[in-house]
A and B are shown apart, each in its own frame.
Chain A
Amino acid sequence: MSKIRNIAIYGKGGIGKSTTSSNISAALSEEGYKVMQIGCDPKSDSTNTLRGGQFIPTVLDTLRSGKRVETDEFIHDGFNGIKCVEAGGPEPGVGCAGRGIITAIELLKQRNVFEDYSPDVVIYDVLGDVVCGGFAMPIREGIAEQVYTVSSSDFMAIYAANNLFKGILKYANNGGALFSGIIANSVNLPEQQDILNDFSKKTKTTITEFVPRSLTVTRSELRGRTVIEAEPDSEQAGIYRSLARKIITNGHKYVPSPLDVDGLKSWAQSWSDRLLGQGEAPGRINCSLEHGVQIAEEEAVRAR
């Protein structure tokens, strides 16, 4: 069995992790790779666009039912033979989603899923701010080796990315995963690119790709498809293919340098001053970056 490439994709909720992951998976499968995508989000919709918009039974459903469930009941074929898995989790407001991720991944290992299906690439699509130990599971204990984060130029997304960097830093000395790049999503304006470029410089990280916000994505999603499947000749499909190729060839991994709370605050402040200094703030850019720090912290505390 050749070595599996295990890649984790993190980012705050709604930022585009599943969209991006699914398009990467689809692009890689076109190139002949055997791909498995594992959604680590209690929403359980990571692989929907790989399966015509269909939900599938989750790994944790087997735990919930208490019945012995065969692995093929939670591993489903998606577009181009991609193996689709959803970790699953509790209903919002009950139980512990973080523990759910740990349990689901342990279950997959116990059932020898990776040996039996022997994928070339496994993509973990992981929710979160790394708010608790459970969400850090894929980056420790040698599960994923390379981590990417999906982020826009909005402060909340950057805050989540910075938290991820902290998580990686923490586990780096114990055989945890290392970072491989930021996937900038929904970034269309030069100012947005500048913000992300500056953040990556400050945190000694790299940006793998800029993915613009595009109606192609929305259209494809409404048809329950990835862009690769629904509009293979579109410009956006080309961007996802380029991203997928970069990811599969990029072996570079490193420890990022997250900003501390004050560092992040003053960095945000400097950007907010700069944007306001330009007079009319460019559209779709969150100018109240410095307020963002506080709000994001409050949200993170609440999430815990």
Chain B
Amino acid sequence: MVNNIVKTVVNNETPVVNLLESPRHSCTFGGAYTATNAVKGLVPILHTGPGCGWTNFFGLVAGSGGGFLGDLGAMQTPSSSLLEKHIVFGGEDKLRDLLNSTNELMNGELFVVIPGCIPTMIGDDIGMVVNEFRAKNNTPIIHVKTSGFNGNSYKGYELFLDAVIDQLLEEPVKVKKGLVNIIGIAPCQHIFWKGDLKELQRTLELIGLEVNPIFGDLKGIESLKKIPEAELNIVVNPWLGKEVADKLETKFGTPFIVQYGLPVGPRETEHFVQDVGKKLGIPREKIDQAIQKEIKEAYQFYNYISNGLYMGLANSYFGVAAESNIAIGLTRFLTNDCGMMPTVVIITDDPPLKNRESIKQRLTEDINSINKPDVIFEIDTYNIEKILQNYPNLIVLGSSMEKYFSADKLSALHLTVSFPAYDRMLLRRTYSGFFGGINLLEDLMGKMSRPF
């Protein structure tokens, strides 16, 4: 175990982590690769050394409670598998060959070239090769400006959307009334992405909207092409995807709203739906009516669990180590709706410094608890454990990396809610929406051990 993590602060601003134990993310390359796989019909074409694709695919897919992803993931993915001679002489010819053979062998709606560290370090002109291919072929093609080392997998998700916006989407577009995009939920890094996107889509459809989740549905390239037609972009994340939404606003004039954290349970979800409705000019009463049944039903389920909740877990101290949007969603629900007491919230997705204050606010303001949680931004697993040890938690919501530590060192009940999730299979599971809180309580209380 590494126990002397060295951290330095430059200009009191940018914390530079010199050493990181068990990071909870991969690189831009991995983020863009999984994002590509999460849109049906897209063909990821990796331009990198052998091994990058494999490790990233299984690192991110297995770490997010999934078994496989996309039609062309893992062994099916074309890769230039660059060798020493390509490093010395350049890898452009290899990429050219790879694009041509992929075109012969594979049917796809969109080729997505994703470069890793090697070609960008030696300066391959990937844009030129891609443009050449585009000029000669009918298959649409884009290239994502990843290079592995230029950021983490969250950035990779944003870079994928950047490439789509810059190289695929065209103006002018006719705005389609009632169409909205959901942004800010990165496939795989957000372990509940499949279920959450479905549930948010269903929730917003209740008020008559047409929802484009972009990732995870069956529409393929159409879901990308539809992006600029939206009347509104909804960023369901306090930071991730904001710049994408900004870019869409600049390029297509699409306004956006930011939902600061996943809406978990009837209270937050109602706020969320009303906020969206307000922005789109849908009358409040109409929305009330549309969601009335859902809310009633959700509370009915609370009745089933209420005795267990108040006898078993009333006023429990809990700590969270999760990505910003999951941490906010779960903390607010367990505190405001279930009467639990948050001790510490550790944010593990390394949000930009400029977004940290608003994340903190969402976790400490408008919180119905006698204690406010400490909010700490930390991505190092050893440090996360150290921090958790300082609090008397009965419950720890974290990644599966906190599982044994929580049991052995803290004697706390542990549930995996953030990346990586090696101890869960997550397909349609969701904690967002009107019934998301019920799902959370189900999972949480199912963890309690009983003598019989």
Contacts and interface: CB of A to CB of B under 8 A. Distances in A.
B85 A89 contact: no
B89 A95 contact: yes
Given A94-B123, A95-B122, A96-B122, A103 B84 contact: yes
A99 B88 CA distance: 6
B90 interface: yes
> Contact residue range for chain B?
10 to 19
B64 to A, nearest CB: 35
Interface string B374-410: 0000000000000000000000000000000000000
B115 to A, nearest CB: 15
Nearest to B92: A94
A90 B123 CA distance: 12
B147 to A, nearest CB: 14
A72 to B, nearest CB: 21
A66 B91 CA distance: 14
A302 interface: no
B314 interface: no
B444 interface: no
Contacts of B92: 94
B87 interface: yes
Interface residues of chain B: helix, strand, loop or mixed (majority)? helix
Contacts of B121: 96
A97 B86 CA distance: 11
Nearest to A63: B85
Contacts of B124: 94
A94 B85 contact: no
A96 B85 contact: no
A64 B87 CA distance: 11
Contacts of A89: 88
Contacts of A91: 89-90
A64 B85 contact: yes
Contacts of B122: 94-96, 99
A60 interface: yes
A222 to B, nearest CB: 32
A85 B87 CA distance: 21
A269 B124 CA distance: 40
B84 A63 contact: yes
Nearest to B93: A94
Contact of B88 (A66, A93, A96): A96
A85 B124 CA distance: 28
A66 B88 CA distance: 13
Interface string A80-100: 000000000111011111011
A95 B121 CA distance: 9
B82 to A, nearest CB: 11
Nearest to B118: A96
Q: Which of A90, A93, A94 has the most CB of B within 10 A?
A: A94
Interface string B16-56: 00000000000000000000000000000000000000000
Contact of A63 (B88, B90, B91, B123): B88
Interface of A: 60, 63-64, 66, 89-91, 93-97, 99-100, 103
Interface of B: 84-92, 121-124
18 contacts: A63-B85, A64-B89, A90-B88, A90-B89, A91-B90, A93-B123, A94-B90, A95-B87, A95-B89, A95-B90, A95-B91, A96-B87, A96-B88, A96-B121, A99-B87, A100-B88, A103-B84, A103-B88
- The 10 A-B residue pairs whose C-beta atoms are closest, nearest first, are A94-B90, A95-B90, A96-B122, A100-B88, A95-B89, A63-B85, A90-B89, A99-B87, A95-B88, A99-B88
Given A94-B90, A95-B87, A95-B91, 19 more contacts: A60-B88, A63-B85, A63-B89, A64-B85, A64-B89, A66-B85, A90-B89, A91-B90, A94-B92, A94-B122, A94-B124, A95-B88, A95-B90, A96-B121, A96-B123, A99-B87, A100-B88, A103-B84, A103-B88
